[in-house]
Amino acid sequence: MGDETLIVYDNIFLDHLTGPGHPENPDRLKAILRGFRKFKLLENPKIKVEKPQKAGVDELCLVHSRKYVDFIEEFCRKGGGILGTWGGGVVCSRRSFEVACYAVGGALKAVDEVLNGRYRNSIALVRPPGHHASTELAYGFCIFNNIAIAAKHLIEVRGVTKVAILDMDAHHGNGTQEIFEKTSKVLYVSFHQDRIFPGTGSIKDVGIGEGEGFKVNFPLPPYSNEEIYLKALNEIVGPILDRFKPAYILVSAGFDAHHLDPLTGLGLSSLGYVEIYRWVVKTAERLTGGKFSAVLEGGYDYEALEKAVSSVVATMAGLTIEVNDPPQKMPENLKNAALRTLEDVRKTMSNYWTI
């Protein structure tokens, strides 16, 4: 098995233009690349960069309807515009359909290369993000649901039995939850800030029918920091994963849970991201032979993206870098609220899992 970490990236992801003042813009990826240069990550032999291929209609239609795919293509060909609202929908430019196809292709390449044994793990650094998009709806800066398509591809095309998705974005991945709401083949776990966009992902949203008990939501109070995340991962998510036994782990890699993020109020530091991804690496070693892939979602502060994404990639490759971004203190009342949330999740999930 290849021992390196794969970064899937292409400059084409800079060509999805959202107009002046939009938080989801090409500068996000430029900040990530600046971080890689600063921490000299790409010179390390344990990290490789490859370009994705463009996903085809059949791949998009693993999750989306043909009607929706055709509509997006047509909308962009005519010059694009705003689908939904500026803040809650998605701004499309002429090339956005093509770029979004490459973003899906990036997620697919990330999982295929690891599954084929060429790399230990992988991260797809793509735009537009995906976890708010559902079967027929562009939403929350997302056009196609990159990670959901990767999960479906793993199960339906590659014959992987069960997939776990950890959504570490500060917003609930309503699209991903909706797409897999009724299946027990995908365990979806989301950490997000309570009562912000899109407003879904309460503790009691545990899935429907066969999928009941396979959706785990942590709606956290503002300022929640790594201490809270690690406690939840170690005491609740880890034991559930041990029983679920995924054959593959996907991470919706949002970086807007960083304390500097302008859109949200959570409290992770770069060191916190290191601890979380160290946990993912260890969990993958225990359950999937080390195999996992991360796919970029949100994250809107450039300094946070520089530091935290480099920290995560280094951790995935088994490297340590010096980043000046220490853990943040959490106000006592909010910490107590967060601990109560964890307890409520534990209580709810104990109806389905021995935890």
Amino acid type, 110 = A
Q: Report the site for Zn ion in 116-155 (rule: CB under 5 A).
A: none
Task: By CB under 5 A, tell whether 171 contacts Zn ion.
Answer: yes
Report d(CA 146, CA 127) in Å as an integer: 10
Task: Give the list of residues 6+ apart from residue 230 with CB closer than 8 angstroms, or none.
Answer: 275, 276, 279
Per annotation, catalytic residue among 64, 131, 132, 259:
132
3-class secondary-structure state, position 50: strand
Q: Which of 10, 167, 169, 301 binds Zn ion (CB under 5 A)?
A: 169
Report d(CA 286, CA 23) in Å as an integer: 37
- Rounded to the nearest whole angstrom, what is the least distance from the CB of residue 253 to Zn ion in the complex? 11
Record the tokens describing residue 95, joined without a space: 């090339």
Size of the site for Zn ion (CB under 5 A): 6
Task: By CB under 5 A, tell whether 194 contacts Zn ion.
Answer: no
Report d(CA 309, CA 306) in Å as an integer: 6
Catalytic residue at 132? Answer: yes
Q: What CA–CA distances, in Å, run from 120 to 33, 130, 247, 291?
A: 21, 24, 14, 6
- Which phi and psi (to 5°) does residue 293 adopt? -135, 140
Nearer to Zn ion, 4 or 205 (CB): 205
Task: By CB under 5 A, tell whether 301 contacts Zn ion.
Answer: no
Which residue number places its CB atom closest to Zn ion?
A: 298
What string marks each residue from 32 to 71 as x (binds Zn ion by CB under 5 A) or -? ----------------------------------------
Record the tokens describing residue 304, joined without a space: 């946070």
For Zn ion, which stretch binds (CB under 5 A), given 146-154, 167-175, 182-190, 317-325? Answer: 167-175
Q: Which of 298, 311, 315, 349 binds Zn ion (CB under 5 A)?
A: 298
Nearer to Zn ion, 86 or 326 (CB): 86
Tokens 């939904």, residue? 84
Q: Report the site for Zn ion in 231-260 (rule: CB under 5 A).
A: 254, 256
Nearer to Zn ion, 296 or 349 (CB): 296
Give the number of other CB atoms < 10 A from CB of residue 156: 11
Active site residues: 132
> What are the residues binding Zn ion (CB under 5 A)?
169-171, 254, 256, 298
